[in-house]
Structure 1
Amino acid sequence: MSTTLQAGDILSRLPHRHPMVLLDRVEDLNYGKSATGIKNITISDPVLQGHFPNNPVYPGVYMIEASAQLCGLLLGSPAGEDGPVLGYLASVRKFKFVTPVHPGDVLNIQARAGVSHANLADFSVDIKVSGKIVASGSLALARIDPDPST
């Protein structure tokens, strides 16, 4: 069964807050398997003020971070009873950026879970704009169990 998460649902499941929560919506979330995240790129994104003046290009590192947040949601549970997911980006491999992303673009981030080893989970990611791949690669997240005493 797939799940859709709106902004409030995302905030309840990730520890990130403004300005670092980067997903606007999550569609087709199949915990532990795959998900599609949506990120709307707008001229009001603070990072675009300086990247680059008169030629705004959305930074690749932000695309990787948005992808990592989506992968972090895949580590969670359907009811979200575990609270915020504490998955730290552990590795970025073979990430390629094919086409620049500009204000007005909508990132369609597709993440698929791969092999997991102990507390390390691998994911493959494709990022598309209007159905065309703009970036792709592999990420690994380390799941950190929250300290129950805090």
Structure 2
Amino acid sequence: MIDLAAKALEALPHGPEFRFLDNLLRLEPGKAGVGEYTVRGNEYFLKGHFPGSPLFPGVLLVEASAQLAGTVAQTDPDIPPMSGLKLTAMRAVKILGSARPGEVIQLEAYITGRLGNLVQARTMALVNKLVVMQAEITLSGEMPIEGSMES
């Protein structure tokens, strides 16, 4: 499982400046995952959010959970990975708390449905075991063409 988790993290399309998933703690391929991100305090966006009292932005909690959901979706053993997988919709988003430098954000993602190139997931973020964000998200990407060299 460790090799699969490492491979899944390497497959994230985001550059290191915009990757909000440090580790996968649990991975049920194609179904669910738990990951974490440590707020380091030196992230560029914290300088202005908010000066003197930095908070990890709530919208980036959603992004972090989408990165985890994408990682989970791309490891489904029955469905080939999609290229260009990205966050395309958010519903029922609730920002219930925050994360500060030095805190670890635990992320959870559960795939709730798939239809063609769409992936739906229920996600949450926790800090110190308290839920700070909940969201239902949709990801979309490009399906490999059957018979092509990509599949």
TM-score using structure 2 length: 0.84
The percent of aligned pairs where both chains have the same amino acid is: 27
Distance 1:128 1:119, change over 3 A: same
Q: Which residue of 2 aligns with 1:86?
A: 84
Deviation at 1:18, TM superposition (A): 2.1
The residue identity in structure 2 corresponding to 1:28 is: R
Q: Which residue of 2 aligns with 1:77?
A: 75
Which residue, 113, 119, 122 being the options, matches 1:121? 119
Q: Which residue of 2 aligns with 1:63?
A: 61
Distance 1:96 1:86 in 2: 26
Greater helix share, structure number = 2
Distance 1:5 1:23, change over 3 A: same
Distance 2:3 2:26 in 1: 5
Match status 1:34 vs 2:32:
yes
The residue identity in structure 1 corresponding to 2:85 is: G
Deviation at 1:40, TM superposition (A): 0.3
TM-score using structure 1 length: 0.84
Distance 2:61 2:4 in 1: 20
Match status 1:10 vs 2:9:
yes
Equivalent residues of 1:35, 1:74 under 8 A apart = yes
Distance 1:67 1:127 in 2: 7
Question: SS at 1:62's partner residue?
Answer: helix
Equivalent residues of 1:25, 1:39 under 8 A apart = yes
Equivalent residues of 1:2, 1:29 under 8 A apart = no
Distance 1:114 1:78 in 2: 13
Q: How many residues of Structure 1 are paired with residues of Structure 2 in the alignment?
A: 146
Q: Structure 1 regions of 5+ residues with no counterpart?
A: none
